[in-house]
A and B are shown apart, each in its own frame.
Chain A
Amino acid sequence: MVETSYYLILAAIIFSIGATGVLLRRNALIIFMCIEMMLNSVNLTLIALARQWGSLEGQIFVFMIMAVAAAEVAVGLAILIANVRHRQSINIDEINLLRW
């Protein structure tokens, strides 16, 4: 059995890579993917701790997070498409209006 801490370290590294990607990239789609990656690393943490404590509640949490992530992707991509239709750009430096 692999120690839980190894999983936590792996999840921490993936989370940091995702956060760095959000800071570095200007492409809204790639920022989106980085956010998905960060959500997934948190899922890994929750499942590892669910095994650590012998309880299923962590896994129920992950199930809920997956549903919220699916909803977030649907709405977020729709916002991106609406923005592209309006401004012909997905560079987040140029996305600075709440209304049009």
Chain B
Amino acid sequence: MSWSLLFFLLVGAVSLAAAFGVVTSRQPVHSALFLLTNFATLAVLYITLDAQFLAAAQVIVYAGGIVILILFVIMLIGGETNDFSAAQRAWSRTVGIALGVILLLVISYSTLSRMMTPSEETAALLQGGSPKAVGIELFSKYVLPFELIALLLLVALIGALVLGRQQEGAGEGIPSVKANE
């Protein structure tokens, strides 16, 4: 067993354990921290796959942005639900797990049945996902999708502002402002 395979198995095991933790944690905060672990291990796997730029982007966007946003929302709204209470229908958990296992079997079968042999020469062709290589590709061949992504982010920003805004006359505004009126 080579060192790289051993490393992959180790990181993959941590990633899987974190994924289990996200699903099974009772506290949403614990789920968010397990999710952070999962994202970090995936960033490590990206580096082993010659995608250095995306590994950095993964850490910045997911670990630095999305998980922090989720944590903020958990702290804003509490997020406690009685997920594991007896009030939940008894069969729903069994059915959910069964459907998940079926999904895993189908995906694994379709992956394994057309397993490709790794070709060393094509892997050598890839110059690596360094920021320079990805940037050249992004700003020459894919410049239109890149600009559209910028537009999408702007629309999402405005949409989040509109949705998250306090309704007019909905009550609890800032007290000092209310007093001045």
Q: A residues 63-81 with Cβ under 8 Å of B?
A: 63-64, 66-75, 77-81
> Do the beta carbons of B118 and A52 come within 8 Å of each other?
yes
Chain B 23-73 residues near chain A, CB threshold 8 A: 23, 25, 28, 31-32, 35, 38-39, 42, 45-46, 48-51, 53-54, 57-58, 61-62, 65-66, 69-70, 73
Distance (whole angstroms) from the CB of A56 to the closest CB of chain B: 5
How many angstroms from the CA of A12 to the CA of B105 in the assembled complex?
9
Does B163 belong to the interface (CB within 8 Å)?
yes
A4-B116, A52-B118, A78-B163 known; A19 vs B100 contact (CB < 8 Å): yes
In the assembly, what is the distance between CA of A68 and CA of B152, in Å? Answer: 8
A53 CA to B126 CA, complexed, in Å = 8
Contact residues in B for A79 (Cβ distance below 8 Å)? 163
Q: Closest Cβ of chain A: how far from B104's Cβ, in Å?
A: 4
Q: Which residues of A contact B125 (CB under 8 A)?
A: 54-55
- B20 near A17 (CB under 8 angstroms)? yes
Q: Which of B132-148 contact A (CB under 8 A)?
A: 133-134, 137-138, 142, 145
Q: Are A36 and B66 in contact (CB under 8 A)?
A: yes
Contact pattern, A 23-66, Cβ under 8 Å of B = 1, otherwise 0 = 11111011011101100100110011011111111011011101
Query: Is residue B90 within 8 Å, beta carbon to beta carbon, of the partner chain?
Result: no
A-B interface pairs (CB < 8 A), number:
238
Contact between B149 and A64, CB atoms less than 8 A apart: yes
**Chain A CB within 8 A of B174 CB:** no
| Residue pair A40, B54 in contact (C-beta under 8 Å) | no
Complex contacts, A64 vs chain B, CB 8 Å = 145, 149
Cα(A40)–Cα(B120), bound, Å: 26
A98 at the interface (CB under 8 A from B): no
The residues of B with any CB-CB pair to A shorter than 8 Å are 4-5, 8, 12, 15-16, 19-20, 22-23, 25, 28, 31-32, 35, 38-39, 42, 45-46, 48-51, 53-54, 57-58, 61-62, 65-66, 69-70, 73-74, 76-77, 79, 81, 83, 88, 92-93, 95-97, 99-101, 103-104, 107-108, 111-112, 115-116, 118-126, 129, 133-134, 137-138, 142, 145, 149, 152-153, 155-157, 159-164, 166-167, 170
* A→B interface (CB under 8 Å): 1-10, 12-21, 23-27, 29-30, 32-34, 36-37, 40, 43-44, 47-48, 50-57, 59-60, 62-64, 66-75, 77-82, 84-85, 89-91
**With A9-B111, A32-B70, A74-B159 already in contact, 5 other A-B pairs whose C-beta atoms are closer than 8 Å:** A14-B16, A20-B23, A56-B126, A67-B149, A67-B152
